[in-house]
Structure 1
Amino acid sequence: MRGRADGSMLSRVTMDPAVRAAIDAANKNDIAAFLACFTEDGVVDDWGREFRGAKRITEWSDNEFIGKQVSLDVTDVEDRDGEVVVTAQVGGNGFNGPSHFSFRVDGDKVSRMTIRA
């Protein structure tokens, strides 16, 4: 699947519900909802730095993601080799610019979110 649109894309493009929930939670700056999207041993890989489990993901997010009032303006969604790859313009009080987020989903939860430029 591939789609392009403005920031309202999430409501128009079919996206795995776990990925959609994680993006929505990030955009609402809701750490509890964001964590609820992950498996118990879920991982965030931020440019090769891995954060596994709720405690470590929270520490990372507090310093670099939701704690920086992140916003993700999705511009593209693609299903690539079993992963959902989301391209977004990142805003907030931390990193700003284009980025790619690759999601692996296990059942109804995200097992891994990898962030790359």
Structure 2
Amino acid sequence: MTTPDPIRRFVEATNAGDTEAFLDNFTADALLSDWGRSFRGRDEIATWNQSDNIGVQSHLSIVRIAPVNGTYQVRIAVKGNGFNGEGDMTFTLDGDLISSLVIT
């Protein structure tokens, strides 16, 4: 399956360490939930990005992706100075942007 553009850009921005491009992938009121910790809107997502993503030099690789009931289930491999290993991300898209990202 071809990776939808917002998810592809999410990975590319993370890997490039480009915070502005990363945040530009989200709707203004997007929700990011990371194992029960919730971040709403770009300002809060920017905080998560600094503590758990670009701020710890994460590098992401898509292992697999599948559409499921209007969302995309993505298995991601992560390397960097934070979490290392594989995890699942569920993306909900609103047009060309991410409206919800749930990490489990």
TM-score category (smaller protein): over 0.9
Q: CA deviation at 1:77?
A: 0.8
SS in 2 for 1:54: helix
Name the counterpart of 1:78.
66
Q: Does 2:6 correspond to 1:21?
A: no
Larger radius of gyration: 1
Q: Does 2:54 correspond to 1:66?
A: yes
Q: Where does structure 1 lack aligned partners over 5 or more consecutive residues?
A: 1-12
What residue identity is the alignment partner of 2:34?
Answer: D
Q: CA deviation at 1:29?
A: 1.5
What residue identity is the alignment partner of 2:45?
Answer: I
Identity within the alignment, %:
38
Using the alignment, how far apart are the partners of 2:51 and 2:60 within structure 1?
17
Instruction: Give the alignment's Cα RMSD to 1 decimal.
Output: 1.0
Relative to the length of structure 2, the TM-score reads 0.95
Q: CA deviation at 1:81?
A: 1.1
SS in 2 for 1:56: helix
Moved over 3 A (4+): none
Q: CA deviation at 1:72?
A: 0.8
Using the alignment, how far apart are the partners of 2:2 and 2:99 within structure 1?
19
Name the counterpart of 1:92.
80
Deviations 1:56-113 (A, max 9, x none): 1111111111100011121111111111111111110000111011100011110011
Residue 91 of structure 2 contacts residue 102 of structure 2 at CA under 8 Å; is this kept in 1?
yes
Residue 73 of structure 2 contacts residue 88 of structure 2 at CA under 8 Å; is this kept in 1?
yes
Q: Pick the aligned partner of 1:39 from 2, 6, 27.
A: 27
Name the counterpart of 1:3.
none
Q: CA deviation at 1:20?
A: 1.1
